[in-house]
């Protein structure tokens, strides 16, 4: 009995070594193929690493270029003047970017004020109220809307919204921060509502069941249970919408009026960081202070948008810990 097992194990051992030997001997087409496959495998991995590093390289060279050109501004313009002066007239060597910084924040805030309530209502409608067929129809439609080019929204704003606003106010001032905020609202609405819709949909069913079992109506369940539970997902959507609103260029350029004055009224032509850059950058020589100031404004935008990503990351971590 013992002998038999030992013989068997010996046999298996020899079989294994025979197989190993034939591979080690390095003969036959099988082996070439193996080497080739391993070589392809390794070079593919290296190519993948290279492309991943390339993506990082792009981000860092953007940061580097924007900073290097932007920081030259402060050679000619004091920092306090750049950030806090409202006088932007490059022809007279005065570069105060406060108007644009303020405009960007005011516009984003106004956009969020209009778009967040509307988006949450649509998200609640899609996730909780609408019948199933309607939900299946609406989600792809909203996904489609995210892809409509911004210049088309700007065009609509220019040809439809501004004449309408002029009629309503009865003046011939239509363009300004309100018009831009309405156009941006239409643009960020699909983004925020789709992400909030996903966040509301993944709230566990048992929460809702528990709330109904306590005798709550649907209204109470949604406002006191579902939305608080989906809070971090909704915040994520709002921040993404905000990033889009801050960085949006063409739609804003077409309706905001492009005049460097402080946006202290809803119907007053003004300008934001993005619109000012795109309107002026083509007309200035590369080495001028004017150009450097525009790059500094771009660098500001870049920093704001990167800060938002850090915020999103923190939110996600908080959501994961809960």
Partner 1 sequence: MKSATTGTRGMFTSDRGMNNFNNRMFTFFVWGISACIILFICALLYLILQKGLPSLTWDFIMGLPSEMEEGGGIGPALFNSFYMLLISLLIAVPLGMMAGIYLAEFAPENKVISFVRICVEGLASVPSIIFGLFGIALFVEMFQVGLTIIGGAVSLAFLNLPVMTRVTEEAIRAVPQDMKQASFALGATHLQTIRRALIPTAVSGIVTGICLVAGRAFGESAVIILTAGVTTSGEMWDFNLLSPGETLAVHLWYVQSEAIVPDAVSISDKSAAVLVFIILMFNILFRIPLWIKERKSR
The answer to whether residue 179 forms part of the interface with partner 1 (CB under 8 A) is: no
Q: Which of 3, 75, 80, 147 binds partner 1 (CB under 8 A)?
A: 147
Helix (H) or strand (E) holding 322: none
Q: Residue 172 — φ and ψ, nearest 5°? A: -100, 25
Q: What is the DSSP string of 202-271?
A: TS-HHHHHHHHHTT--HHHHIIIIIHHHTHHHHHHHHHHHHHHHHH--HHHHHHHB---S---SSSS-B-
Shortest gap between Cβ of 87 and partner 1 (angstroms)? 23
Shortest gap between Cβ of 38 and partner 1 (angstroms)? 7
Helices (H) and strands (E) in the chain, counts: 16, 2
Residue number with CB closer to partner 1 (24 or 218): 218
Q: Which of 31, 114, 156, 266 binds partner 1 (CB under 8 A)?
A: 156
Angle at 123 between CA 122 and CA 127, to 5 degrees: 120
Residue number with CB closer to partner 1 (178 or 258): 258
Residue number with CB closer to partner 1 (21 or 117): 117
Which listed range, 15-23, 42-50, 86-94, 170-178, lies at the site for partner 1 (CB under 8 A)?
42-50
The answer to whether residue 286 forms part of the interface with partner 1 (CB under 8 A) is: yes
The answer to whether residue 313 forms part of the interface with partner 1 (CB under 8 A) is: yes
Q: Is residue 232 within 8 Å of residue 168, measured between CB atoms?
A: no
Q: Tell me the helix, strand and coil percentages in the chain, rounded to 5.
A: 80, 0, 15
Half-sphere exposure of residue 102, counting CA atoms within 13 Å on the CB side? 18
Residue number with CB closer to partner 1 (130 or 173): 130
Q: Which of 30, 71, 148, 210 binds partner 1 (CB under 8 A)?
A: 148
Shortest gap between Cβ of 54 and partner 1 (angstroms)? 6
Residue number with CB closer to partner 1 (40 or 84): 40
Q: Which of 40, 94, 259, 288 binds partner 1 (CB under 8 A)?
A: 40
**Using CA atoms, how far apart are residues 244 and 309, in angstroms rounded to an integer?**
12
Residue number with CB closer to partner 1 (121 or 265): 121
Shortest gap between Cβ of 302 and partner 1 (angstroms)? 5
Q: Is residue 253 within 8 Å of residue 156, measured between CB atoms?
A: no
Pairing of strands 94-95, 88-89: antiparallel
Q: Is residue 235 within 8 Å of residue 192, measured between CB atoms?
A: no
Kindly identify the residues of this chain, within the stretch 214-243, that bind partner 1 according to CB under 8 A: 214-220, 222, 224, 240, 243
Kindly identify the residues of this chain, within the stretch 106-125, that bind partner 1 according to CB under 8 A: 118, 121-122, 124-125
Residue number with CB closer to partner 1 (157 or 260): 157
């Amino acid at each position: 009995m013992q002998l038999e097992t030992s013989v068997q194990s010996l046999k298996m051992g020899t079989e294994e070594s025979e197989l190993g030997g034939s591979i080690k001997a390095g003969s036959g087409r099988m082996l070439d193929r193996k080497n080739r496959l391993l070589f392809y495998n390794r070079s593919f991995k290296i190519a993948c690493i290279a492309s991943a590093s390339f993506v990082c390289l792009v981000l860092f060279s953007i940061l580097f270029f924007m900073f290097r050109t932007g920081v030259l501004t402060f050679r000619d313009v004091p920092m306090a003047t750049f950030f806090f002066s409202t006088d932007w007239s490059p022809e007279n060597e005065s570069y105060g970017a406060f108007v644009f910084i303020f405009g960007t924040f005011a516009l984003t805030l106004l956009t969020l004020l209009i778009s967040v309530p509307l988006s949450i209502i649509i998200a609640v409608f899609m996730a909780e109220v609408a019948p199933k067929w309607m939900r299946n129809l609406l989600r792809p439609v909203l996904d489609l809307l995210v892809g409509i080019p911004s210049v088309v929204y700007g065009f609509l704003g220019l040809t439809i919204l501004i004449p309408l606003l002029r009629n309503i106010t009865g003046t011939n001032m239509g363009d300004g921060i309100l018009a831009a905020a309405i156009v941006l609202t239409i643009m960020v609405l699909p983004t925020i509502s789709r992400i909030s819709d996903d966040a509301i949909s993944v709230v566990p069913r048992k929460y809702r069941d528990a709330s109904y079992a306590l005798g709550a109506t649907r209204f109470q369940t949604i406002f006191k249970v579902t939305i608080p539970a989906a809070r971090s997902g909704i915040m994520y959507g709002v921040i993404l919408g905000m990033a889009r609103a801050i960085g949006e260029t063409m739609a804003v350029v077409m309706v905001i009026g492009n005049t460097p004055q402080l946006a202290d009224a809803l119907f007053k032509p003004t300008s934001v960081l993005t619109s000012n850059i795109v309107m002026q950058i083509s007309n200035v020589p590369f080495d001028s202070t004017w150009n450097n100031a525009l790059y500094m404004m771009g660098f500001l935008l870049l920093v704001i948008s990167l800060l938002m990503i850090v915020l999103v990351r923190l939110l996600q971590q908080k959501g994961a810990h809960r």
